[in-house]
Each structure stands twice: as C-alpha cells, then as structure tokens.
Structure 1
Amino acid sequence: MRSIYLAGPDVFYPDFEQLVARKAELVRQRGFLPIYAGVMDYPVAPSKWQTGVAISAVNELLMRGADMLIANLTPFRGLAADTGTAFEIGFMSARDKPIYAYSNASAKHTERIVQFYNGERRIDSSGLPRGSDNTLIEDFEMTDNLMIDGTVALRNGRICVPPDGRDLPFDDLRVFEACLNALVLAECGK
C-alpha cells in the first residue's frame, strides 16, 4: 500500500488527535496509508533539546518511509507556512517524491505581505515592489514563498485553496479533501 505523509502545523492545535484522525480516515478511504507526526511514540530524552532532536529524527524516519506528501500551507503564526512544514516539503523534494499542498487561506503570499505592511507598498526605480522597510516584496502570484510553490509545481503536484476566495477555519477539511482527490487522480491515473 502506498503511503502519504501528512505535513503541517496541525499537531500544535488542541484538537490535533481528532483532526488527524479525520484526515487519516479520508486517506485510508482512498486506498493509501496515512503517515503523520505523532503516529509513533517519541522517545523520552533527558533534556528538552534532546527530546526535540529525537522528535525530528522520528519524523525524518517517517518521511523516509512515505511515498508522497500532502502539506498544510495554511499560514501559521505569521505570513506563511509553518517552518517545520517547509522543512518537510524540502525533505520530500530532495527525495524527489510527489508533493501536493493546500491552504485554507485564500489570499496569495504577496497579499499577505502587503497586509503585514498595513497596505503600504511602493514601487522602486527598477519597478519592483517594496515594503515600508524597503525590503523586496515577493510578487509571483503564488500561494506561499516561490520555493514552496515551485517545488510542488516541479514535481507535477498541485496546491489547492478555497475555491470561493473566502478563508476557511483551520479544521475545515474541504480543501484538504480536494487536494487529496487531486493526488489520487494523478497517482492512480498513471
């Protein structure tokens, strides 16, 4: 049975167990094995730092055993995807695995950056957009940073977002399910 690693900041939410159980069931219904952080017990270590390293090692082991990835790019604690999720995308990209992603946020990355600057944006003498602190605003009409969208596109994956332009609650699985369906269609149609 082929497996899908479910990446995202879901583990930080109080209802993580119920949320991941719902996702896992949808994955199983489509004939794939769900793999995700927390599916195995983590080793107990003598310090917080060592515990963190042990968790990282287990998650890398889980990804090594996965055939493909679905990443939750819904912005987490900032403008963009969770940093751990970005690492997981990079890890699976380096292994040349199929990568699919979704976000329950409808705004493009550029729009979120401009919101961060309270709508302030200027065009420099080269025609490039800059924020109030004079840093370049990435403007490629992408869901997240160009390295995230790019690696998904280069692996023939897809990033799904809410179709009606409205943000959805973090635990709403409609966009996740659309992403999963796109993956199944692509992978089973081969």
Structure 2
Amino acid sequence: MYDLSLGANDISDLSPLSGAVHMQRLNLYGNRIADCSPLQSMQSLSWLALNENQLADLRPLSALPALTTLILAHNAIYDIVPIAANASLVSLNLSNNYILDVSPLTALTQLETLDLSANIRLKDLSALANLTSLQELGLAYLESCDYTQVFAIPALRSVTFGANQAENSDGDFARVIEQLQSNGILVLFQ
C-alpha cells in the first residue's frame, strides 16, 4: 500500500498503520489524532495531511526524511522545532495553530510554499528572510504582524492576506500592499 486516505473517520489511534513502512501518501485530515508516533516507521512518506486533528507534539514527524508536503492546519501546535529536521519539505501548511516563533523553519531551505494564516500569536516574520526558496506565503488573519518583514524574502512571488486585514487596517498595511505589488509580488485576499 502506497497511498491511503482515511480522512474524517473519527480515528484516534494510528498504531494499526505502524507496519505500513512503504507508505508514500497518507491523508488523515479531520480525525481525533493526538499522537502521530506510529507514523515514524514510514520512511518513504512524502505527502502527509494531518489537518483538523488534535496534534501538539510534532517530534515523531522529525523521523520522516522523505516528506515534501506536510499539512498541519487546525491543530494545537505551539512548537515547530521538530519540523526543522524535515529538510526535504517543499510545501508546509501550519495555518490555524498557536505558533509564536517561526525561526525553526530557517532550516527548511527547499521550502517553496508556506501557510501561517490564523496563527494569532505570531508577530515576528523576520526569520522567513532566510527561506531563500520561499515563493508563496499565506499570512491571512494574523492580528498584529510587521508585514514589512516579508520584503526580505528573496524568491517571494505571492502573499495571501485575509480580507479583514485590508478592511480593518491603517495606512501602513496599504503601503505594504502597494510595495509588494510594485516589487512584482502577487497579493491575494481570501
């Protein structure tokens, strides 16, 4: 078995999957998963969706060297340090969590797509300047960030903001949008 989708199945125990060592794609969105340690044996896993679960501890995911796509939206994640071990990541969705510090992501030099939307505690984006391959960035529904820090991301092509950010902002946000657009960066609103 190489590809398995078990989304929205009320799953909380992943131990029956621990023997699926050749799994390449695994979709586990919308379950009740709090412990992902049974996935550690899946050394070939390149695509993993664990969005809409109850994850807080990402340490087991650091044992997955082949991961290129990781979807962790809508969990209870504060600490993203373990993700730094996943050097092959190209796409990472961390939206709707409780992330405060994005500096561990600087180790992900191949990362091209990153969604940090709705991490209401997130304020400092300066570490993202070290992501030299980052092209697409989701920043929708962040409350009080210094968006000028995204100017330093060298390969950035598009940024997504939330519609509420434009409606409830001051002139500084409008100037950020204007500067991004004048730099040739596509600005999207969701």
Report which structure shows greater RCO (CA 8 Å, sep ≥6): 1
TM-score by length of 2: 0.30
More helix per residue: 1
TM-score by length of 1: 0.30
